[in-house]
Amino acid sequence: MTKRLILIRHAKSAWDDPLTPDHDRPLNARGEGAARDLGQWLASRGYVPQEILCSNALRTRATWDGIAPFLPDAPEPTLKPALYHAGADVMLAVLRHATADTVCILGHNPGIAEFAHRLVKHPPLSAEFQKYPTGATLVADLGEIAWADVGYGMAEPADFIVPRELVV
């Protein structure tokens, strides 16, 4: 079967309390709305992951919690501590252990942006792709390949969106 990766940077997080450890920062109101918007967008395009690999940070989990109600057929996420502030090589290693055909990874910058840039054959037609802002979501197709064999420069961008493009 064809492999598809949905690569999501967490939505906008709160910086209200300087004593909150980075790992425990929640989403702010804008981030909560953006997560819901991303869920609607994914559902409207039929991008339903069969496996979700999520950093165990609160803001990535909260991003998925905002998306999930719009994708009722998606499974519960698998929390991966290794994805917390992971670099591109760690993200690739985690992906290589995926088991489903359509996989979603939720992570953090700068690693997720670097991973997205290195994974695709060419960037999608969006100026936002270079920045990979909060909520940025890449959908990339990899053809009929085993996840264990995936490498950089192999993915074809199928779609890309940032939350601000979804606001009417």
Q: Is 2 helix (H, G, I), strand (E, B) or coil?
A: coil
Between 166 and 98, the higher pLDDT residue? 98
User: What are the distances in angstroms from CA 86 to CA 1, 18, 96, 110?
Assistant: 28, 23, 15, 8
What is the mean predicted confidence (pLDDT) over 93-116? 98
> 3-state DSSP helix/strand/coil percent for the chain, to nearest 5?
35, 20, 40
Per the prediction, the chain carries an average pLDDT of 96
Closest of 117, 124, 134, 107 to residue 160, by C-alpha = 124
CB–CB of 161/40 below 8 Å? no
**For residue 99, is pLDDT > 70?**
yes
State residue 123 phi and psi, 5-degree precision: -70, 150
Number of domains comprising the chain: 1
| pLDDT at 168 (0 to 100) | 53
Q: Give me the domain span that covers residue 66.
A: 3-165
pLDDT confidence bin for 35, thresholds 50/70/90: very high
Sign of CA dihedral 40, 43, 44, 48: positive
Looking up residue 158, the CATH number of its domain turns out to be 3.40.50.1240
The percent of residues above 70 in pLDDT, for the chain, comes to 99
Produce one character per residue of 128-152: b if its CB has 16 or more CB atoms within 10 Å, e if not: ebeebbbbbbbbbebeeeebeebee
